[in-house]
């Protein structure tokens, strides 16, 4: 369906975009360092699932229709910023406690909770939706047949490489965080730094233009 050289070019461009410093990988790093490997990997997986959701929106044309409205774009942007503020507040409120291996009830904090946070943080960010609307069509062509199967294939590939890169990033960040937490009292400041980062990302998103 899509020539191999085009797929390789797409994967190379996708990897560069994913690796380049941005909100998603900064969040994966901060969560991994402050909460551990499982949390970092889970948050990264959630971001990857969010990316695939944006692919579906772009494929179906929903993203373009929704974001054509200035008010809708602003609403999504503020909702995304509010959610990042919420995560930041939680990090500050429970500073040090969230870095523990177990919760108060003795159970390990489930990875699915971090997957959910990463997914929500990514999927309600209209800037990410705009990126996919602009990025994916550059690698599809009507001369190869229907456009939507090409878009879906590219979306799956983008999500797959995101899982690999963000998973590695979360694992590395968790390993680094485990070493840092060996110092008494540092876990509290790691959570506070992570919370502050989320506040900064929320401000960046809330003030960003189209």
Give the pLDDT of residue 132: 85
Please, which pLDDT band fits residue 46 given cuts at 50, 70 and 90?
A: very high
3-class state of residue 194 by DSSP? helix
Distance CA 84, CA 96 (A): 19
Query: By CB neighbour count within 10 A (0-12 exposed, 13-18 middle, 19+ buried), where does 65 fall?
Result: exposed
The mean predicted confidence, pLDDT, of the chain is 80
Longest dimension (CA), the chain: 62
Determine the 3-state secondary structure of 190 from DSSP. helix
Quickly tell me which residue has 């489930």 as its tokens: 110
> What residue segments make up the domains of the chain, in order of their start?
23-207
Which pLDDT belongs to residue 12?
A: 93
Tokens of 181: 């937490």
Residues paired with 108 in a beta bridge: 102
- 3-class SS at 209? coil
Residue 184: what pLDDT? 56
Q: What is the pTM of this model?
A: 0.75
């Amino acid at each position: 369906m899509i020539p191999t050289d085009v797929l390789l070019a797409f994967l190379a461009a996708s990897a560069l975009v994913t690796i380049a410093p941005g909100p998603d990988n900064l969040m994966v790093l901060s969560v991994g360092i402050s909460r551990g490997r499982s949390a970092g990997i889970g948050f990264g997986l959630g971001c990857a699932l969010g990316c695939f959701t944006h692919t579906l929106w772009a494929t179906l044309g929903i993203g373009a229709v929704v974001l054509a409205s200035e008010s809708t774009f602003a609403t999504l942007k503020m909702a995304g910023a509010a959610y990042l503020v919420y995560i930041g507040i939680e990090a500050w409120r429970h500073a040090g406690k969230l870095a523990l291996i177990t919760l108060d009830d003795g159970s390990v904090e489930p990875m699915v909770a971090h997957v959910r946070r990463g997914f929500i943080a990514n999927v309600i960010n209209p800037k990410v939706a705009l990126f996919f609307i602009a990025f994916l069509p550059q690698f599809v062509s009507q001369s190869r047949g229907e456009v939507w199967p090409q878009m879906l294939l590219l979306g799956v590939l983008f999500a797959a490489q995101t899982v690999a890169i963000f998973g590695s990033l979360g694992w590395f960040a968790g390993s680094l965080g485990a070493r840092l937490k060996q110092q008494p009292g540092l876990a509290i400041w790691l959570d506070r730094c992570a919370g502050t980062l989320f506040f900064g990302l929320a401000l960046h998103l809330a003030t960003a233009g189209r």
